[in-house]
Chain A
């Protein structure tokens, strides 16, 4: 029967309050006011203790379905393969080409490369790397059916042959200064053994076939949606890594990843969400470092969709992007307003950082000017336009930028509805003939100055932009060996982009990586994680 009703009511109320409070507290984590993050805020000096590390646990913000970059060419796939497999050449911390499986090479003419393989290159199974293996790997990398993710980088491949016991000769169809970097693991080539490939009928990189490479670490276990286990391989020609094993855990949910770090489970976390950087910094024993990541974010305009074929409409939209506000407030400083498509790092072969920035800033720029935008829009078919802008759910920072841009555009009479979609759906909206306005979010792996702008302005570009001048600049520029001379054609290409308002660059990205204070990585640069990073980790003592 009824127990004293007042007491029951009090108990119920108390229980309800406790429950609501717990829920509110759980929801509160991660909600910090913006306050301009920017570069690494901790002044942590790390000294290399030279000690061995037994296991390093890395958290990836997503899962890998396949470890072979030819099958799945996402940035995380490149990151993982970089410490397991190698190409003929590699990149150093500044993105310059250095030897890898090839100890030296010669270019008797503009379209021929003769590589001499190093004699101590060994696969993880103990077999030596033969010239036949290299030729075979390159042929597979160039085949669209076998390697849909990387064949494009090999479009210019003419022939590849064994020309000596440790010699491979590669020819290209046309002279191409970008070709060499595509023969690195950051481009298209990850050398594997022909026998291994044929044993698995080309289905490499799966949880059964794993990956066979020549790098400092070998794959011993792979379960998609769970983890990859790497172990130090004693077959590598380079300096032996200090880390014995690396466990890469796939943790797609950002809150779970943060929770895992709070329990002390994570040593390195890739791609910390920008709005969580503060939370990660506050974790005891962890630090957060940000680094330019060679990524580009900008708007694309599909000129096959009206009214985006009208240059005034594109110019008006370009004038409506408040790049400085977006980078400072919405990205909390983790980014740089982009004055062009190519990043300053991309021009590093010709100009150093400041000089590159100065050159790029000289290009015609579209300042944030809503009055000018209104004038340009007046009289075009875009007045009163309603359109949709999609962005991938793996990039929430694009979403906030989209909202800001939509707000500005509403002030000049365009109604843009912003929609978050899964990354596969976003990919499908690019160049689909319905979406005239879109986002381009591109992670350059090679750092080549024409990688991104070539994609966005050249043959089969997503803007539907057909220009003989652009194509000539791209192919012509790719053929030039001298970096400074080549940089001039890149700048001319960027100038064309600006004059024609083909793309509207917004920012060059920075990635935030969280490290345990007991771990450091040597020569940390934008190229670190497309190099053999496992071998560059060291046990650190911080001050």
Chain B
């Protein structure tokens, strides 16, 4: 029918507008963030010149030469705009510490960090969601209590403690995994990254499990489920109905949790000696290597922005009520 056709095109153009607006807001956030990062690094303790010249005597001529080389005496705004205009042209600059283009420095570490994040996300999902559903389905039972205890451990144990525990148990006592390093490619990489990913996953799996449990539990106690049970549907079918409704909060938190993983990589990469973006960011901040700090901060912010947009868009796919509301409006 022509009417439903126009409704669909209207819905699609509205969707497109929403996406464009969201992307624009992400860009605005990136701009504000770049200024904030620049200011904070500018104000932070530490002296780039001393970091380059080291614990040695320095001649005033050499200090002046280094300051000129890196434009350290230019006014604050000039330096920021200089960076901004280069970045807008696609030139992220050269890392002062590594003496290599920022793009290359980041590219060489992106693989390790992305694999780490993805692997720990998958591990967290695999551990948390089934456990959360099980806890909700058997609420109050031994399984439920044990799962709660485990999640408490995951939430409260600091990641470096878990890391050392993991290395001691699974690399020394039972030599199953390597104690450190990122390994080669493919399967070797995954084998090396299992422990770090598990450590990263522990805390967020705990959060995700509790949210899953709460969400499924609320659905199971709802009217629709009571009615389904009254109609004589089997427990398995009832559970699948509840799950579909419980999915939105779970997906939302999964998306937000992904952002926690990103910040957790700093400690995990340091303990396991992984050449990733986390360690790079930490060292660059300490060294005051501005081009690298800006690039990584913006990369992370962009990733988080995109994840949030994807999560929001997923509601359209998951929840028919949202779809209907959008097209009816």
A residues touching B (Cβ–Cβ < 8 Å)? 1-3, 8, 11-12, 15-16, 19, 22-23, 25-27, 29, 63, 65-66, 71-74, 144-145, 148-149, 151-152, 155, 203, 205-208, 223-227, 249-253, 255-256, 259-260, 262-263, 265, 421-425, 427-428, 430, 432, 441-442, 454-455, 458-461
Contacts and interface: CB of A to CB of B under 8 A. Distances in A.
Q: Which of A148, A223, A427 has the most CB of B within 10 A?
A: A148
B109 interface: yes
Interface stretch (B25-33, B244-252, B257-265, B282-290): B282-290
A221 to B, nearest CB: 12
Nearest to A432: B47
Contact of A225 (B56, B57, B175, B275): B275
B167 A259 contact: yes
A12 B46 contact: no
B114 to A, nearest CB: 16
Main secondary structure of the interface of B (DSSP, over half): helix
A206 B149 contact: no
B8 interface: no
CB-CB nearest 8 A-B residue pairs: A144-B62, A226-B275, A225-B275, A428-B47, A26-B165, A427-B50, A259-B179, A251-B273
Contacts of A144: 59, 61-62, 65-66
A26 B164 contact: yes
A259 B172 contact: yes
Contacts of B280: 225
A252 B273 contact: yes
Interface string B145-185: 11001000100010001011101110110010011111000
Contacts of B189: none
Given A65-B283, A206-B99, A2 B51 contact: no
A424 B275 contact: no
A427 B47 contact: yes
B140 interface: yes
B22 interface: no
A149 B179 contact: no
Contact of A424 (B59, B168, B287): B287
Contacts of A12: 145-146, 149
A224 B47 contact: no
A442 B55 contact: yes
B274 A225 contact: yes
B270 interface: yes
5 contacts: A11-B142, A71-B99, A226-B275, A460-B58, A460-B59
A23 B161 contact: yes
Interface of B: 45-47, 50-62, 65-66, 69, 97-100, 104, 108-109, 140-142, 145-146, 149, 153, 157, 161, 163-165, 167-169, 171-172, 175, 178-182, 269-276, 279-280, 283, 286-288
Given A148-B62, A225-B279, A8 B100 contact: no
Contacts of B161: 23, 26-27
Contacts of A461: 57
Q: Which of B59, B141, B167, B279 has the most CB of A within 10 A?
A: B167
A428 B172 contact: no
A256 B54 contact: no
A66 B46 contact: no
B284 to A, nearest CB: 10
A149 B97 contact: no
B275 A251 contact: no
Contacts of B97: 65-66, 72
Contacts of A2: 140
Contacts of B109: 225
Contacts of B165: 22-23, 26
A152 B273 contact: no
A425 B161 CA distance: 26
Given A152-B57, A223-B108, A455-B56, A8 B275 contact: no
Contacts of B149: 12, 15-16
A16 B145 CA distance: 12
B310 to A, nearest CB: 30
B55 A152 contact: no
A25 B286 CA distance: 33
B271 A428 contact: no
A260 B146 contact: no
Contact of B55 (A1, A250, A430, A459): A430
B56 A427 contact: no
Contacts of B99: 66, 71, 203, 205-206
Given A148-B53, A427-B50, A458-B57, A226 B164 contact: no
Given A262-B179, A421-B45, 16 more contacts: A26-B161, A66-B98, A72-B54, A144-B61, A144-B66, A148-B53, A149-B53, A152-B59, A206-B99, A206-B100, A253-B273, A256-B163, A259-B164, A259-B168, A259-B180, A428-B46
Nearest to B163: A256
Contacts of A19: 153
A400 to B, nearest CB: 21
Contacts of B56: 73, 149, 152, 455
Q: Which of A11, A205, A262 has the most CB of B within 10 A?
A: A262
B273 A425 contact: no
A279 B178 CA distance: 20
A455 B54 CA distance: 12
A458 B283 CA distance: 32
B271 A256 contact: yes
Given A23-B161, A152-B56, A263 B171 contact: yes
A425 B46 contact: yes
A29 B168 contact: yes
A251 B167 CA distance: 14
Given A29-B168, A145-B69, A259-B168, A73 B142 contact: no
A419 to B, nearest CB: 11
A60 to B, nearest CB: 10
B273 A256 contact: yes
Contacts of B272: 256
Contact of B46 (A23, A424, A458): A424
A428 B50 contact: yes
A244 B283 CA distance: 32
B65 A263 contact: no
Contacts of A253: 270-271, 273
